[in-house]
Structure 1
Amino acid sequence: MDDNDFGDFGSDPYEFANVIGDGDQPLYPGCRKYTKLSALVNLYNLKAKHGMSDVCFTELLILQGDLLPEGNTIPTSMYEAKETLCALGLSYEKMHACPNDCILYRKKYEDSTNCPTCGISRWKEGKDSILKEGVLAKVVWYFPPIPKFKRMFRSHETAKSLTWHAARKSIDGQMSHPADSPSWKLLDNKWPEIGNEPRNLRLALSFDGFNPHSSLSSRYSCWPVILVTYNLPPWLCMK
């Protein structure tokens, strides 16, 4: 793998190459089960699952480093762990939103305190019906997709897979990939400037609500929005 595999990406063009190196580096000399990256991802999943604080997670990393053999590569702080994970493109933005989902408080609405559509306040209302200024009524967590798309094209193998739908030929007349569907062909005919470039991404959008605490009595819910890249071969995009 050479420098040309990565191109210009973010403020540090070698940042993603470093992450790939972490994915190949053993957690400690002779370790075959975990790499530096896989161990960190598993530990971070535990942090998220059990609501561990940043301070507690830092202390856990320090303890893990002491328990593991000398020469281990486990990060020693939450800050160092975040630096590694953010290079994977897992960064996010928090956007203030109208409780009725009318607008996002950004751009021209950035300094607004009431929704221009429904008039409801940006701030949360307490049990005493008094607005708690500074306490947001609703927040949307946004994971920008563009950095992830760029990262997909940085790998020769993944970039080749993204044009698989155009290179392969369906000879049995069966619909074995979304590219065989009438919707895909309709898009190609209606917007040929998109259909003629096989590297253009075809995305499927799906979302649904779920209660993260598995409690029917709780009103709290999450509504993740999931994008699936249909360019990939069926054994990847249908996985």
Structure 2
Amino acid sequence: MFQSHKTAKSLTWHAARKSVDGQMSHPVDSPSWKLVDDKWPEFGKEPRNLRLALSSDEFNPHSSLSSRYSCWPVILVTYNLPPWLCMKRKFMTLTLLISGPKQPGNDIDIYLEPLIDDLKSLWDGIRGVYDAHIGEYFTLRGVLLWAVNDFPAYGNLSGCVVKGYKASPICGDDTPSHRLKNGHKICYIGHRKWLPINHPYRRQRAAFNGKPEYGMPPEPLNREEVLHIVEDINYIWGSKNGGSVGENDGDRVCWKKKSKFFDLEYWKYLHVRHVLDVMHIQKNVYDSIIGTLPKIPGKNKDGIAARLDLLNIGVKTNVQPKYGQRRTRLPLGPWNLSRVKKRAVCNSFYGMKVPEGYCLNIKNLVSLKDSRLLGLKSHDFHTLMQQLLLVAIRSVLEKPARYAITRL
């Protein structure tokens, strides 16, 4: 990158940039960036030193329905570049491509060892790098600011448990979890403690679990506490369960291993080491919502087990299954769409016109025959969730359900 005159100039863009509105619009405005400058002044004085982010996730290049092949690309992104360049494909470095019949899971650290060694060398400094913009040789250094992943990959890279009874990285051992009797899923009902102390939801009983919430949210673990917990964990690489896992889910510890990233000298000092991919999570939330409203098979979260679990915790007792001689019927809840309303929503999407470059042509994504949307990309999920879905459901859902989706 430094051998290109234009790119080498862009790599120092952050040094001359000043935030005039007080908003965080680039990682250079973040406390993590300023921490590196303050703790290692020699590193911060050289604007050409690289600030990197690592991203990894699983995808199947052959078929989304096949589980016989797994592929994990590990990509480095350079944050020295301005926002309109750092996310371009030519500036994303594919460092590893982990492929095989199974996903690496918690053993991904074994595959990351060569990359960690390169990051150590980059932190120590690489001499003799030629800067085509200034026309001189210099010693290049680099720091990995954080890793960007979805929630399951976050668990594999950080060594934290992200499923089961203790799936909250913040609550840890005090995660308020409850196993549903009929759906056999684990739900987390203590989320109201993060609301302001005088929020009306804290006093509501019938809409939640029949109890008020007066608890206070726990404090997240700082970097010294996390390192102290994982320092002595003896994880058995290649084993199915590992050496840090208890006998059953109730005894499962919150941390499984010491992440390989702690081999980096600076990793334990960073404020934020792992970042969740918001648009990926937003896609999953949208899939659940748009699958439940029109009852799309395979994506519908509303079934007999879900209705019975609502009855057990005393929520929405008026929409329970109606048992007949031949079949069980589910009454329409305030969140369900009838056939006429489903057609109205699809016609609303079909008639939408958006500015060029805003998102894909919504008209081409609508299947009026099946009353559903097909072929959506991540950015399309973003625009639908933020604005377009709110317009489409405005006249077809009752106020409580519509307001809940709008506020979400």
What is the TM-score with the length of structure 1 in the denominator?
0.35
With structure 2 as the length reference, what TM-score do the two structures score? 0.21
